[in-house]
Amino acid sequence: MKKLMVIAAVLVFFTGSAYAAAEWNFYGSARVSTFYSEIDNSPFVTGNPNTENYEQDLNGNARIGANIKVNDALTGRFEYGAKKDLSNVRILWGEWDFGAGSLGVGKHYTPLLMPYSNQVYNIYAREDGDTNMSLFGMLYGKREAMVRLKFGTFQIALVQPRTLVSQYYTASPASGYKVATVPMDIYLVSGQPETEVKMPGIQAKYRLDFKMGHLNFAGGYQNFDVLSGTEKFTVYSYVAALGGRLNVGKAYLKGNIWGGQNVGNLADILVSGSIASSVEGITGDLDGGGLGFAQYSDGTLNAINPALGPKRGIIDNDALAGLLVVGYEFREGLYIEAGYGYTRTELDMAGSEEDDAETIYLQSTIFLAPGVFLTPEIGYCDMKQSGQPEITYYGVKWQINF
């Protein structure tokens, strides 16, 4: 027993000594947004009235973390945020450089990322901050658990799958909550149906660099089954994207365009502004298209239009999104930037109509000292369809990096 204790103590000593020699470079970013917004058909208030609000929040992407270097081949990183005043793991990552490439394991930004916009106001969740047009044109596959191989500017990853479908309708009162009568009682089912996953998501990206900028090519695919009694219905999701940046003197042009099928399981999109919407006390995206998920029906009632009669299975969701950004550096530490973003989804069935949204902004980034800057911004977002939000905002984001 004593020998085992001695051996354990020696192992702890040598392991601790090895990692104590690692370089730990800590960093942090404190961010506060101060904005005034005017919202028609507000998604944040019951009854969706028109509202005018001053908003001051700690940004959800305020963070503290560290880059760790054990040796030239082994590195790591962790990062914690403060979303809605709660600590959350943004990044927890280890990477091994094996010469020809690198192997990364943990939670990090997936390859489906093209961060070409610097928009700071958060249209859809006021405590998050710095949306960068995510959901409204930017390609953003979130930060997920993954195993990634990287070779130069090419990367491919096995990504934790998202197994979500839009909340679905049924005629059975035992399985949901009544929301309408057209022409029979319709019930919105809470939660998600049972699913079965056979494979991870697969995502890849390649960057082509040239003298005045770069191009990015990206794609992703995943599938999962929805279980309904003895039957299975497969949800296929895919995304294809092209983006890039062009520098001309002190001016720059950035943008991306992307689209696919059932994209909500791979990347974020929104057309209705109704993440926080409420219909007779039921929270959710009722039209089935707003978040890019496929629509599922259990067969007791058509998922979208009762007049079409019963339909059992999956209705796919087709999506298209993009953004364009232009900017100019007047002098060191003073930038101006303008951007436009567009999103569109449509359920793949007869009689379905497109649902789209657009946003535009103008901002300036002003550096007061190294690591200290503010970003005044004015912008507008229109969800376009009747009864959906229309937002005008202006204000300042304050940020200190340390």
Q: Tens digits of per-residue pLDDT, 320-355?
A: 999 999 999 999 999 999 999 999 998 887 777 788
The domain 23-401 belongs to what CATH superfamily? Porin (2.40.160.10)
Per-residue pLDDT of the chain (402 residues; tens, 9 = 90+): 454 444 444 434 444 445 557 899 999 999 999 999 998 887 666 666 788 889 888 888 899 999 999 999 999 999 999 877 678 899 999 999 999 999 999 999 999 999 999 999 987 766 677 889 988 999 999 999 999 999 999 999 999 999 988 755 554 444 444 444 333 344 444 457 789 999 999 999 999 999 999 999 999 999 999 987 788 999 999 999 999 999 999 999 999 999 999 999 999 998 875 543 223 233 333 344 578 988 877 665 444 445 444 566 788 999 999 999 999 999 999 999 999 999 999 888 777 778 899 999 999 999 999 999 999 999 999 988 877 889 999 999 999 999
pLDDT of residue 128: 73
pLDDT of residue 186: 42
3-state SS, the chain, equals CHHHHHHHHHHHHHHHHHHHCCEEEEEEEEEEEEEEEEEECCCCCCCCCCEEEEEEEECCCCEEEEEEECCCCEEEEEEEECHHHCCEEEEEEEEEECCCCEEEEEEEECCCEECCCCCCCCCCCCCCCCCCCEECCEEECCEEEEEEEEECCEEEEEECCCCCCECCEECCHHHCEEEEECCCEEEECCCCCCEECCCCEEEEEEEEEECCEEEEEEEEEEEEEEEECCEEEEEEEEEEEEEEEEEECCEEEEEEEEEEECHHHCCCECCCCCCCCEECCEECCCCCCCCCCCEEEECCCCCCCHHHCCCEEEECEEEEEEEEEEEEEEECCEEEEEEEEEEEEEECCCCCCCEEEEEEEEEEEEEEECCEEEEEEEEEEECCCCCCCEEEEEEEEEEEEC
pLDDT of residue 296: 79
pLDDT of residue 123: 79
pLDDT of residue 21: 74
